[in-house]
Structure 1
């Protein structure tokens, strides 16, 4: 699921007493243990691929690893047998993670790449990065710095948000540096769809998998943010283990947008012609970032309708169930990077024929 540029680290955090970032990662024991073991032995890989759904702690773990690598206290001790976590208190540690409301950290050696994160002029472009993370970012932020040592002497860490959005030219430009980075240089690629990455990228990175969060953890995190317990439990059950999805479901403005999509989609299916459906598909093209959740909301509505009509012995239950499956299929197609406009058009046409 594509989303707009982030304004804070992966939202599956901000709970727990740990003063370090890595210590705040929830319910990912295998991934965290892998990183801690690498830090403790001084064998941190030069390029990682953090693979898993959005909103489960990948980005938090990336900033946690970066914090440990640039930590002034930890960095001053021998690598072998070093503490696996950062001190969390030195100047470098405090500047590793983006501040609330910001998308990039203050530390000069922790560099974030993300589609649309930078103004075009900052990366030598004339137009915004609408669809892909461009080669201009890679040239400006990676290649221009590749030959130089870390600014503050500890390590240099490049974190690529949604690496599956790298353009082909950006990927090719990144490959050589990814394969033979300078001393103390590390890459962390975050991705929810690793199979869409080029094999050359996958072969040059060490894969660390992140699982969906348990519903209990999502509920706990939502409650900590002020959501009522009962509502939090419902949202957690619908989130698929993703805190990002749960937060989107909880947001009133986003909820209103989803509701409007659902109502328009149902109206388009029952409309005497395709005009309404084509209009909805055109709107979907402009709102790709919220479309997948909107399709899931449509599926939920149709599932509820199928259950209600089936309980009443209504023959329409089979129709609602078939349309429910089509909505889920559309969400899956969109997740596989299908065209938003064509996905919605096709879904409406197929629903009308049921």
Structure 2
């Protein structure tokens, strides 16, 4: 488990936390904002470990860097995953609510989870030390009514209470919620660090470079795709096949390729669900669908880069022949329209549009030279 000093590529976020700590102005409510997989939860956990540590370490001076010691009783409890004053909150806890037996994990954060694991618990004092730290994952999936229920706690939490909300979409948070939290922004993880991590996990470097660029600075996303165990194939092999199908797509093939994408999305989703307990089926299905659509968007971005600068960095660096072939078939404007289409389909996925319709609309438009962008 990482300590604060071991977290990489998030210097600004760590510096903001450390400066407040050094000045004695630590907030009781934080909002960690950034893409999924860039280290928000890792940092929240390391920050909580430091707050709960019985023998905090002061590293350097002017200003000093405060970190956990790693050896005290509190740190040992934390490392074991059993610290009573560190309380993660996530929607999968719905099955442990009073009326949650046999309930499936929903898309949004259930109000029962917020009420029973946070609102009703904040009056409970720490068991071990000075603080109780609550970390709520996917705060962007807390609806407006539930955010309003949190306002009083965020505004006037007990002195021993620290609440950290993890959010990947600030636009989903109410202004009243934002105003009550100290905002800490998280950036992308450097491509080199992602490649280093993937190759250390046994991923071939060529594949690792693709996932690092595909993930847009999200280490967690890169690892999730690269290590996905799919029956009889890999995510990387499916990606390679998809790119080839798109490059040589004809109008007469569009429905068949759309059907293939639907089956492939289900295969990917099934692999993720088999490795996780009580996850939201809708969340996992959307992740698979959007991943395939993003692979196509990356291809057309590569075409745009190749047309303007042959030496430009490309996501699909491993399929140069496909990029070259597509560059000969379409111009930059058409490639840009195709990227726009892909991101429109992303929105359709989030809006729960039928999967078959999404993929058919996408493939029919891509195979049509007029690029009939739907509204």
**TM-score, scaled to structure 1:** 0.76
The CA distance in 1 between the partners of 2:260 and 2:98, in whole Å, is: 35
Where does structure 2 lack aligned partners over 5 or more consecutive residues?
58-62, 267-281, 304-319
Match of residue 185, structure 1, among 152, 158, 161: 161
**1:325 maps to what in 2?**
339
204-213 vs 297-306, which moves further: 297-306
**1:10 maps to what in 2?**
none
Task: Check the 8 A contact 2:33/2:185 in 1, yes or no.
Answer: yes
**1:293 maps to what in 2?**
291
Match of residue 352, structure 2, among 335, 339, 344: 339
**2:311 maps to what in 1?**
none
The CA distance in 1 between the partners of 2:254 and 2:217, in whole Å, is: 38
Match of residue 9, structure 2, among 27, 44, 50: 27
Trace 1:211-226 onto structure 2 (pairs within 5 A): 211-226=187-202
Trace 1:63-78 onto structure 2 (pairs within 5 A): 63-74=45-56
The CA distance in 2 between the partners of 1:224 and 1:43, in whole Å, is: 39
**2:273 maps to what in 1?**
none
251-260 vs 226-235, which moves further: 251-260
Task: Give the 3 Å change call, closer, same or farther, for CA 180–66 of structure 1 in structure 2.
Answer: same
162-171 vs 278-287, which moves further: 278-287
Task: Check the 8 A contact 1:109/1:152 in 2, yes or no.
Answer: yes
Q: Secondary structure at the match of 2:164?
A: strand
300-309 vs 137-146, which moves further: 300-309
Task: Give the 3 Å change call, closer, same or farther, for CA 122–216 of structure 1 in structure 2.
Answer: same
136-145 vs 216-225, which moves further: 216-225
Trace 1:206-245 onto structure 2 (pairs within 5 A): 206-245=182-221
CA RMSD of aligned residues (A): 3.6
Where does structure 1 lack aligned partners over 5 or more consecutive residues?
1-13, 15-19, 76-80, 100-104
Task: Give the 3 Å change call, closer, same or farther, for CA 160–345 of structure 1 in structure 2.
Answer: farther
The CA distance in 2 between the partners of 1:301 and 1:69, in whole Å, is: 45
The CA distance in 2 between the partners of 1:73 and 1:334, in whole Å, is: 51
The CA distance in 1 between the partners of 2:144 and 2:249, in whole Å, is: 37
**TM-score, scaled to structure 2:** 0.72
Task: Give the 3 Å change call, closer, same or farther, for CA 149–46 of structure 1 in structure 2.
Answer: same
Match of residue 95, structure 2, among 120, 128, 131: 120
Task: Check the 8 A contact 1:306/1:320 in 2, yes or no.
Answer: no
Trace 1:1-354 onto structure 2 (pairs within 5 A): 21-74=3-56, 84-96=66-78, 105-116=81-92, 118=93, 120-126=95-101, 127-253=103-229, 256=234, 259=238, 262=242, 270-271=251-252, 277=258, 287-301=285-299, 303=303, 307-310=323-326, 313=328, 315=329, 321=335, 324-326=338-340, 328-330=342-344, 333=347, 337-339=350-352, 341=354, 343-344=358-359, 346-353=361-368, 354=371
Task: Give the 3 Å change call, closer, same or farther, for CA 108–134 of structure 1 in structure 2.
Answer: same
Aligned length: 321
The CA distance in 2 between the partners of 1:26 and 1:125, in whole Å, is: 38
